[in-house]
């Protein structure tokens, strides 16, 4: 056992920190790892694109990938430390749809040599933005029910149907889109994955959806005879379910990023409690209830972050990650919501004030009463999705029960 | 980072698991629980013969020189089996303190006998008013002429009824001092408290107990800082027992969910039950990561105040949740005395409250955060 980072790992961490001190705009309040800020606000998107180029110049995009695709074949722990440091500072540029268990890993695992040669180098150079096309109006938790149809006509896949809740689609260049290629097979056997270049494919239209936080970061995507070259099939025809499973298990490590990101908010809240006095003139930090609540969220975050480290350890040593990955996914969602709840309780009516996005828009000069730039309000509203996106907590619990060896849920009787 | 157990640790775990399985059926443990002593002397001897009482003691005192991390792994298994007896008191509170603070004379007199299973030790810290907060201790060792007289009451002292020596944390002029007190000294009286679980707790009165400077451990007024260390060690040891207990509860619950049929199906196939089990698993996984980390920090002698308190505050609440859900899945069968669940439910309740409650450790965390 050893719960420390090695000196070499600590040195790399310092290198990343120095880079961020130098390259991030001054007083950067941090974007969230779900990219909702940067996809909703063009000025943040621009900073992200610039940071992406800087990360590419450092060789930190595709850090672990093979050299022949422009990668650097560095050990996985470097990638983990990079993700940690960027996330804690809320630094954009390491597009999770490409680099944090995203398309890049799927291409490496399932792509053809041509596909890898074509797409991986442009990711490494920081030239494109990714997204992912999974959910549909009737395929969320029941993902195998997806209906977007793809038919092979000559040299093209012709896509017809609809996706929804597609984060970042309106700014993305490339996404793996999950389609039905055989409606006659059992639900999860007729699914394939097609790499779609959104901006270069006629027949695709998008409609921005506004989230309850007010951010417009995700989309409905409509396909009307959209033609994609047939060589853009990822993996085997009707063999997509395997890739779905791989993609979802990658996405669950997203919980780790949520947990690191929320540390910034916890620190913000602690600072607020030290600086803010109650009606009796006593700092909130001396109030027993406040101390206990803050300690509890700190403990919960720290415990969950440790599980995240365990997940990394298992990934690095080839252990079975299923239950640990589910644990992190569940704890990530619950912990971020708990921080927002505690923050709202502590800040009271001041907590619910603030502009859309919190911390990110020019504050109204007449607004004297919003605190922390409206971050807590935004956090409360935006974390609602954290127990739902990338697999609901309930679906994760089903998977955990499966890992415990519990019998499968009885199937409803077939319709007559 | 390395979360893995060494080969030796795996072996220790297996030996302990096998011993508990064959020698300590739960029927026996429930019988011991009714006995005022709490455990049979031959069990204590068997534990010593396995080398457990001397596990962390150096070879020169008849021990095997293992680490605190190894001990934590053993405690997990002991907690999993609800092994009765004064093990934590003797080894974690007693022997480790004597080893670190004792004079050579004290160490040679006590430690080899602990390793051989001939002595039971404990430590008396909590008081009716102050609980674990040494700033408020009322029990006092008064310096009179060439000796000290010890007067006052200690509460929730584990296994004092069978202890040969009690390490007492007493207020002295200018601080807190630890004394190694022979439990048979005139003026020491002990009464068992009606405690919930198998572990025996006592009220111990000290009425003018006469001590000398040579009975001190670690010197005059050095007790306060060391008590923090003892509390950290005890908290992690207790967490390790609770962790093992929680692991056993999950296993029992999963097995029951697979076996028990209702509405024509194994209840484990229903999502309501599955989610209870998944929640138990998550709490257990999270607890294990943190407790191993805290135990490892203690073991390596690294700064650990924050991590230990995080672990103890978390484990207290987590084992309460795990046992509650275990009951929920088992239904009526498990609130019968015949069933084993209640052993763990009681272990969880006592565990959360002892060596600093969840609230106590949350407050430590708040202080560490600079609040």
Last residue of some domain: B86, B119, B152? B119
* Whole-number pLDDT of residue B238: 98
Same domain, B249 and B339: yes
CATH code of the domain in which B332 resides: 1.20.140.10
Residue B2 lies in a domain: no
Asked if B269 lies within 8 A of A330 by C-beta distance, the reply is no
Residues 320-379 of A with CB under 8 A from B: 323-324, 326-327, 330-331
Same domain, B97 and B130: no
Residue B170 lies in a domain: yes
Same domain, B280 and B339: yes
**pLDDT surpasses 70 at A152:** yes
Please answer whether residues B178 and B97 qualify as being in contact, where contact means their C-beta atoms are separated by less than 8 angstroms. Answer: yes
Q: CB distance from B143 to chain A under 8 Å? A: no
Q: Output the six-digit token pair for A294.
A: 């803050």
- Please state the domain extents for chain A: 7-124, 143-239, 252-403
Q: pLDDT tens-digit profile of B304-354?
A: 999 999 999 999 999 999 999 999 999 999 999 999 999 999 999 999 999
User: CATH fold of A143-239, please?
Assistant: Butyryl-CoA Dehydrogenase, subunit A; domain 2 (2.40.110)
Q: pLDDT tens-digit profile of A250-305?
A: 766 788 999 999 999 999 999 999 999 998 999 999 999 999 999 999 999 999 99
* Whole-number pLDDT of residue B36: 87
Task: Round to whole Å and give the CA distance between B24 and B338.
Answer: 15
Same domain, B317 and B182: no
User: Mean pLDDT in chain A?
Assistant: 93
Report in angstroms the alpha-carbon separations of A283 from A267, A290, A291: 16, 10, 11
Torsion of CA B210, B211, B212, B215, to 10 degrees: 160
* Whole-number pLDDT of residue A252: 60
Asked if A401 lies within 8 A of B277 by C-beta distance, the reply is yes
Please answer whether residues A63 and A73 qualify as being in contact, where contact means their C-beta atoms are separated by less than 8 angstroms. Answer: no
Identical fold, A143-239 and A252-403 = no
Q: pLDDT tens-digit profile of B106-139?
A: 999 999 999 999 999 999 999 999 899 999 999 9
**pLDDT surpasses 70 at A416:** no
Q: A7-124 domain in CATH 3.65.10.10?
A: no
Task: Round to whole Å and give the CA distance between B321 and B309.
Answer: 18
Same domain, B142 and B229: no
**pLDDT surpasses 90 at A318:** no
Residue B109 lies in a domain: yes
Helix (H) or strand (E) holding B156: strand B147-158
Last residue of some domain: B160, B191, B221? B221
Q: pLDDT tens-digit profile of A363-397?
A: 788 889 999 999 999 999 999 999 998 889 998 89
Give the best residue of A295, A312, A323, A393 to mutate against chain B (max B CB count within 10 A): A295
Give the best residue of A331, A334, A338, A401 to mutate against chain B (max B CB count within 10 A): A401
CATH code of the domain in which B39 resides: 1.10.540.10
**pLDDT surpasses 70 at B38:** yes
Task: Round to whole Å and give the CA distance between B84 and A60.
Answer: 55
Last residue of some domain: B180, B198, B221? B221
Task: Round to whole Å and give the CA distance between A391 and A253.
Answer: 12
Same domain, B181 and B230: no
Share of chain A above pLDDT 90, in %: 78
Regarding the domain with residue range A252-403, which homologous superfamily does it belong to in the CATH classification? Butyryl-CoA Dehydrogenase, subunit A, domain 3 (1.20.140.10)
Report the DSSP pairing between strands B165-172 and B121-124: parallel
A322-336 average pLDDT score: 92
* Whole-number pLDDT of residue A295: 97
Q: pLDDT tens-digit profile of A72-117?
A: 999 988 999 999 999 999 999 999 999 888 899 999 999 999 999 9
Looking at the structure of chain B, the number of domains it has is: 3
Residue B1 lies in a domain: no
Q: CB distance from A5 to chain B under 8 Å? A: yes
Same domain, B347 and B250: yes
* Whole-number pLDDT of residue A415: 65
* Whole-number pLDDT of residue B292: 97
Residues of A in contact with B5 (CB under 8 A): 1
- Give A323's pLDDT tier (boundaries 50, 70, 90): confident
Closest residue in A to B314 (Cα) is: A299
Same domain, B294 and B241: yes
Alpha helix locations (H) across B301-357? 305-330, 341-353
Distance in Å, alpha carbon of A348 to nearest chain B alpha carbon:
19
Please, which residues bridge with residue B154 across strands?
B204
Residues of B in contact with A407 (CB under 8 A): 258, 265-266, 268-269
Compare CB distances from B292 to A1, A285, A292 and report the shortest one's residue. A1
**pLDDT surpasses 80 at B209:** yes
Asked if A298 lies within 8 A of B310 by C-beta distance, the reply is yes
Same domain, B273 and B361: yes
- Give A137's pLDDT tier (boundaries 50, 70, 90): very high
**pLDDT surpasses 90 at B223:** yes
B345-365 average pLDDT score: 95
- Give A362's pLDDT tier (boundaries 50, 70, 90): low
B44-69 average pLDDT score: 98
Q: CB distance from A295 to chain B under 8 Å? A: yes
Helix (H) or strand (E) holding A333: helix A322-347
- Structural domain harbouring B243: 224-368
CATH code of the domain in which B183 resides: 2.40.110.10
Asked if B290 lies within 8 A of A309 by C-beta distance, the reply is no
Same domain, B59 and B137: no
Share of chain A above pLDDT 70, in %: 98
Distance in Å, alpha carbon of B35 to nearest chain A alpha carbon:
38
Residues of A in contact with B369 (CB under 8 A): 270, 294-295, 298
Same domain, B190 and B134: yes
Same domain, B180 and B259: no
């Amino acid at each position: 056992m050893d719960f420390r980072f090695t000196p070499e790992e600590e040195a790399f961490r310092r290198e990343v920190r120095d880079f961020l001190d130098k390259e991030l705009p001054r007083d950067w309040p941090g974007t969230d790892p779900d990219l909702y800020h940067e996809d909703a606000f063009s000025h943040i998107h621009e900073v992200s694109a610039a940071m992406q180029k800087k990360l590419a110049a450092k060789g930190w995009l595709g850090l672990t990938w093979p050299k022949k695709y422009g990668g650097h074949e560095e050990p996985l722990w470097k990638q983990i430390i990079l993700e940690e440091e960027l996330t804690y500072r809320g630094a954009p540029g390491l597009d999770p749809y490409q680099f944090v268990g995203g398309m890049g890993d799927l291409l490496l695992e399932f792509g053809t040599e041509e596909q890898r040669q074509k797409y991986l180098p442009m990711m490494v150079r920081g030239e494109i933005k990714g997204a992912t096309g999974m959910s549909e109006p009737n395929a969320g938790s029941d993902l195998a029910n997806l209906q977007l149809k793809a038919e092979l006509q000559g040299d093209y896949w012709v896509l017809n149907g609809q996706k929804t809740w597609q984060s970042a689609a309106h700014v993305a260049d490339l996404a793996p889109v999950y389609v039905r290629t055989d409606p006659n097979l059992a639900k999860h056997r007729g699914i394939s994955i097609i790499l779609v270049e959104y901006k270069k494919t006629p027949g695709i239209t998008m409609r921005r959806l506004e989230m309850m936080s007010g951010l417009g970061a995700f989309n409905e995507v409509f396909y009307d005879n959209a033609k994609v070259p047939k060589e853009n099939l990822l993996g085997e025809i009707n063999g997509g379910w395997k890739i779905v499973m791989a993609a979802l298990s990658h996405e669950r490590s997203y919980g780790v990023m949520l947990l690191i990101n929320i540390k910034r908010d916890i620190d913000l809240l602690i600072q607020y409690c030290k600086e803010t006095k109650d009606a009796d003139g006593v700092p909130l930090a001396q109030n027993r209830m406040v101390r206990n609540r803050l300690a509890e969220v700190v403990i919960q975050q720290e415990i969950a972050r440790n599980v995240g480290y365990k997940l990394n350890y298992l990934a690095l040593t080839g252990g079975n990650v299923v239950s640990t990955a589910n644990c992190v996914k569940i704890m990530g969602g619950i912990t971020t919501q708990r921080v927002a709840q505690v923050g709202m309780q502590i800040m009271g009516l001041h907590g619910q004030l603030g502009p859309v996005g919190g911390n990110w828009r020019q504050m109204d000069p007449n607004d004297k009463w919003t605190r922390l730039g409206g971050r807590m309000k935004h956090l409360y509203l935006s974390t609602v999705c954290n127990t739902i996106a990338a697999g609901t907590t309930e679906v994760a619990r089903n998977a955990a029960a499966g890992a415990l060896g519990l019998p499968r849920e009885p199937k409803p009787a077939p319709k007559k | 980072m390395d979360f893995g157990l060494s080969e030796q640790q795996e072996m220790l775990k297996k030996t302990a698991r096998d011993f508990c399985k064959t020698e300590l059926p739960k029927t026996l443990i429930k019988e011991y629980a009714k006995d005022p002593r709490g455990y049979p002397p031959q069990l204590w001897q068997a534990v010593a013969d396995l080398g457990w009482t001397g596990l962390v003691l150096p070879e020169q005192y008849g021990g095997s020189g293992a680490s605190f991390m190894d001990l934590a792994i053993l405690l997990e298994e002991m907690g999993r089996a609800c092994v009765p007896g004064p093990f934590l008191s003797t080894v974690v509170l007693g022997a480790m303190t004597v080893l670190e603070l004792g004079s050579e004379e004290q160490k040679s007199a006590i430690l080899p006998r602990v390793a051989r299973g001939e002595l039971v030790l404990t430590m008396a810290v909590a008081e009716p008013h102050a609980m674990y907060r040494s700033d408020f201790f009322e029990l006092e060792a008064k310096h009179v002429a060439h000796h000290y007289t010890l007067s006052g009451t200690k509460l929730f002292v584990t296994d004092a009824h069978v202890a040969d020596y009690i390490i007492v944390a007493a207020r002295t002029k200018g601080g807190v001092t630890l004394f190694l007190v022979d439990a048979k000294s005139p003026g020491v009286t002990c009464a068992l408290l009606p405690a919930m679980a198998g572990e025996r707790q006592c009220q111990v009165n000290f009425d003018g107990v006469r001590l000398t400077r040579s009975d001190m451990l670690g010197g005059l007024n050095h007790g306060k800082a060391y008590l923090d260390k003892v509390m950290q060690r005890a908290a992690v040891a207790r967490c390790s027992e609770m962790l093992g207990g929680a692991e056993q509860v999950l296993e029992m619950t999963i097995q029951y969910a697979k076996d028990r049929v209702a509405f024509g199906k194994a209840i484990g196939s229903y999502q309501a039950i599955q989610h209870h089990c998944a929640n138990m698993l998550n709490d257990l996984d999270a607890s294990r990561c943190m407790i191993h980390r805290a135990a490892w920090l203690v073991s390596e002698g690294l700064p650990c105040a924050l991590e230990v308190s995080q672990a103890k505050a978390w484990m207290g609440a987590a084992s309460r949740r795990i046992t509650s859900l275990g009951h929920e899945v088992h239904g009526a069968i498990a609130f019968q005395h015949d069933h084993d669940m209640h052993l763990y439910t009681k272990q969880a309740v006592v565990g959360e409250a002892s060596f600093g409650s969840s609230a106590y450790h949350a407050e430590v965390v708040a202080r560490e955060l600079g609040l």
